[in-house]
Amino acid sequence: METFALNFRRRKSKMRNLKRTLSLLLTAAMLIGMMVVGASAASSSDFTDSDEITNIEAAQVMTALGVFEGTDSGAFDPNGTLTREQAAAIICRMLLGEDAEELTTNSVVFSDVSADRWSAGYIGYCAQQGILAGTGNGAFDPEGELTGLAFAKMCLVALGYNADSEGYVGTDWAINVAADAVNAGISPSGLVLANVISREDAAQMAFQTLEADMVTYTGSGSTSVTTPDGSSVVITGAADTIAADQEDDYRGYSDGDEVQQFCEYYFPDLTKDETGYDSFQRPSVTWLDGRTEIGTFSETADATFTTTAETGELYDAVGRTVYSDLDDGSADLDVYVDGEEVDYADFDLDDFIARNGDDTAGVRDGDGDLISGQRTGNGVLTEVFVDDDNNVTITMIHTYVAQVEGDYDSTDGELDLDALDGTAMAATDLTVYDEDFDNLDTFSDGDYVLLTVANGEIQTIALADTVDGDVTAYTEGSSVTVDGTRYYYNRTFESGLATDSTALDYDLNEAYTLVLDEYGYVVYSDATEGTSDYVFISRVAATGGVSSDYEARAYFTDGTYAVIDLDEDSEATHNGDTLIEIAKDSTNSYETINEWYDYDEQSDGSYELNDVSDSGSETLTGASGGTDIAVSGSAYVYYGDSSGDRIRANSSTVFVINDDGDVSSYTGIRNVPDVTLRSGETGVVAWVMDDDGYADAVYIYSDNMSVSGGSDDRVYILDDSASRSVDSEGNSY
């Protein structure tokens, strides 16, 4: 197992302890726009669908300010369409703050808005202020859809723009609103204003309105002028920005813009610190409401890569002028890997940025070879930031994988994780705590989780996606094809395999579980091929037959049973003697074995058996009231009365359950039925363990036990007969 322990120096003056992470928001894009939430701030992570929110900063700030609220079901509903009454509520809360909740009406303003409707006060206020009008015929249509243009008009009016003066009424209203929305900076990038607007995009527009300049009108009002052709034109005063004291700038600048932004007037306690860095050393902003931290958010990068990036691509991202400044030393280049700075003496500018360069961007050793943990690659989030002085910061963030060890401990508020063989891991402590993460109770024993790490500490944790299927081709150390789809390796997996003496070697047409990172790259392969080579032997005997002298009663992992002939070269043992010797010396019709073995079927149909490295077997008697062996929802299989008499199982464990000759097979601890050995009855529990401390295979037998529930989930029945070809590029198929 490789650890990315690099010799870095820290930029201590700019380090920030930004560990409290809204992990539930990181499913779709675990790090782009990553945020850290203040301990006391109202959080968008409280919504039941928080993992669907993509405009994270906007949702968090507007939720903390009380402008946005969830639906009746406790969801944010980011993709839901904004309704007219919701828009009225948002604008009222932006203009009136907490006082908006006191808005009431004792009369019916619109025929379809009763006085006791939740939104009646908001609608009445917006109608009175000319912010939002009815739909005609005395109706308002409170649940009607709202377009981006209509909501932009409301936000512009809130900023002080006069709807009549600016032409927000009449046939050209849409063109005028769109132009002013873009000029004012409130139109979200890429949003088609003419379409209905989602709640999430409305949050983004409202958020951008916070930082937009407020306006007022100069002049003495409107003047009607008659033109030579006899028509009339109304000329109004111009909309000007409102002057403000530098000391009141919400960003705390000493060189403030001397212009009043919306938030400075309506949310005077709201401040924004733009001078910080997050734990990965990305330029970041921190929002505070008074002394309460709302959250810290990384700035949008000038360029982002999640695959191998060439030096020429980074040159194109920064441009000729920035490169020239870097080259002559008038601007600085800083590189960080998982939050730690790479010493500038360890790399040259052209290692990362070069005109027309086609080399992989990354740090190289004295021989010119890329250093594994300090290069761009598949699954490495590489972000490029250019500041106003042309200084460039490059951050590289790896995704690591671990497996949950045991369920969440609600008493101590902690969750234990296991590193996995064949993978790199940068974290120095694999226990995570609920004081740092909001989502630990959502994980279960055996789950695969994705981690990001900065300065040796875990920063984010999210459930990994998995893919199950048969391997039909692979390229060693690079990719694997499952059920016709090719999956490339994440850099941490490539690196781990390169340094692990037990590098992964797939058996074609056999079943594997691939663990994927958030970008779709393989971070781990939990091979289930080992279970196909296991067989449980309950008895051996001498036959005296012509074709073979010894046979065994065998139970395979697919749930099938057979009496097999033992190959005389079998080296499998039981209590120090080989099975061949035991069968040969048997004075009975058979000898009981009850152990798992590895097998290889020979061309003559006999089976060569060998010992497995980590296995066990226990014979037990049911206690009074019965002894539970497998319990639905538990992560363990029990083989005794003591709480310590147990083994751990996970989603890949194969169970063979022999209920008095009725044999069934299950894959996964969550699919196995409840198994209880009845009082006074005898049973057998045997197991084979993998390298990570989980059972590969479990055999349970009794002629009198209770078996109930369970799910006939997929059992991996593997085909050992496939041939393998390797082409000139190392691809196996």
Q: What is the pLDDT of residues 352-405, one digit of tens each?
A: 999 999 999 999 888 888 888 899 999 999 999 999 999 999 999 999 999 998
Residue 318 has pLDDT above 50, yes or no: yes
The string of DSSP letters for 449-490 reads: EEEEEETTEEEEEEEPEEEEEEEEEEETTTEEEETTEEEEBP
Percentage of the chain exceeding pLDDT 70: 81
- Tell me whether the CATH fold assigned to 465-528 matches the one assigned to 530-612: yes
Average pLDDT, whole number, for the chain?
82
232-246, 296-310, 434-448: the lowest-pLDDT one: 232-246
Task: Return the closest-CA partner of residue 719 out of 563, 558, 570, 603.
Answer: 558
Work out the burial of residue 624: count CB atoms within 10 Å of its CB; fewer than 13 is exposed, 13-18 middle, 19 or more buried. exposed
Architecture of domain 465-528: Beta Barrel (2.40)
pLDDT for res 433: 94
Q: Any residues with CB less than 8 A from the CB of 698 and at least 6 apart, and which? A: 637, 647, 649, 653, 654, 655, 656, 685, 686, 687
Cβ–Cβ under 8 Å, residues 583 and 533: no
Q: Which parts of 564-692 fold into alpha helices (H)? A: 579-584
Delimit the domains of the chain by residue range.
Answer: 23-217, 301-397, 465-528, 530-612, 614-715
- The stretch 145-164 carries a mean pLDDT of 94
Query: How many angstroms separate the Cα of 112 from the Cα of each of 135, 143, 319?
Result: 11, 10, 57
- The stretch 641-653 carries a mean pLDDT of 82
239-243, 254-258, 463-467, 614-618: the lowest-pLDDT one: 254-258
The string of DSSP letters for 200-239 reads: HHHHHHHHHHHTSBPEEE-SSS-EEEE-TTS-EEEE-PPE
Maximum pairwise Cα distance, the chain: 126
Which pTM was predicted? 0.64
Which has more pLDDT, 250 or 649? 649
Query: How many angstroms separate the Cα of 291 from the Cα of each of 38, 398, 439, 584?
Result: 10, 33, 25, 82
Cβ–Cβ under 8 Å, residues 529 and 494: no
Residue-wise pLDDT for 420-468, tens only, equals: 866 788 888 899 999 999 889 999 888 999 999 999 999 999 999 999 8
- The stretch 527-534 carries a mean pLDDT of 59
Residue 490 has pLDDT above 80, yes or no: yes
Residue 224 has pLDDT above 60, yes or no: no
Task: Return the closest-CA partner of residue 26 out of 436, 452, 520.
Answer: 452
Strands 381-386 and 35-37: unpaired
pLDDT for res 245: 56
pLDDT for res 510: 76
Alpha-carbon torsion (304, 308, 313, 315), positive or negative = positive
Beta strands in 464-566 (DSSP E): 465-475, 479-482, 485-488, 511-516, 522-527, 534-542, 550-556, 561-565
Task: Return the closest-CA partner of residue 402 out of 527, 531, 526, 528.
Answer: 526
Q: How many Cβ atoms sit within 10 Å of the Cβ of residue 117? A: 17
Residue-wise pLDDT for 172-183, tens only, equals: 999 999 999 999
* Amino acid at position 236, single letter: T
R_g of the chain computed on alpha carbons: 33
Residue 716 has pLDDT above 60, yes or no: no
Architecture of domain 530-612: Beta Barrel (2.40)
Residue 226 has pLDDT above 50, yes or no: no
